[in-house]
Amino acid sequence: MSYERPHDAADERLPSSNQPGAGPGRPRTRYHRIVSVTGPLQLIQAFANTLGTSPGPDELGTREEAAAWLRTAELLPAEAGLSNSEHAALLRLRESIRDVLAAHTGGREDAAAAARLTRALADGRLVLTVDPASAVRLASAARSSYPNLVAAIAVAIAGSAASGAWPRLKACSAPRCGQAFYDESGSAAVRHCSAHADSM
Ligand SMILES: [Zn+2]
């Protein structure tokens, strides 16, 4: 089976987990506000890092800002917005992802964060679909935009977990940083983002 984004407008906009590059003929400059959203890991990382180092900017701070970011990331159709409750749920989703990434950094289990992330991802209403050609994929059972964007993030997490990359996606443990980074080291024991790698 393949891990792809949910149906509708989101289709074909991000490469699958097996295609880390932007793909032939697909200009990277398309993602002009977000650096290299080219695969599942980059999507999760970019989403987690919408909250800057503390004190810093929050790109999802208001409903309007969040909708604008999601549209740029091609997670939300141009005509769609976010309700207050969806905005609050989106922030809870990000917080739970950041907490789980921090647990990855610490090499520890965080049952509360894992439970919160599980609950937040349930909004995506993921199902497994089979089309007439017997192609199988994960998709949202919902038609509305919020469940579909949560499903896209859930599928990205599933894809990164399937490739073994998920435990290496971490949150920097430097004071007031918390930025998500990918640990490419052989030891998988890196605790700091590139900006703080030398200072620790
Ligand atoms: Zn850092």
Tens of pLDDT along the chain (200 residues) come to 445 444 443 333 333 333 333 334 434 333 334 444 568 999 999 999 999 887 889 999 999 999 999 999 999 999 999 999 999 999 999 999 999 999 999 999 999 999 999 999 999 999 999 999 999 999 999 999 999 999 999 999 999 999 999 999 999 999 999 999 999 999 999 999 999 987 65
Question: pTM of the predicted model, to two decimals?
Answer: 0.81
Residues paired with residue 181 on neighbouring β-strands, in sequence order: 170
Residue 136: its H or E element: strand 136-140
> Could you check whether the bond before residue 167 is cis, i.e. omega within 30 degrees of 0?
no
Report CA(168)–ligand 1 centroid distance (Å): 15
Report CA(125)–ligand 1 centroid distance (Å): 33
* Domain 9-163 falls under CATH 1.10.3300: yes
- Terminal-residue alpha carbon distance, the chain: 42
Report CA(84)–ligand 1 centroid distance (Å): 31
Report CA(57)–ligand 1 centroid distance (Å): 15
Report CA(178)–ligand 1 centroid distance (Å): 6
Pairing of strands 136-140, 169-171: unpaired
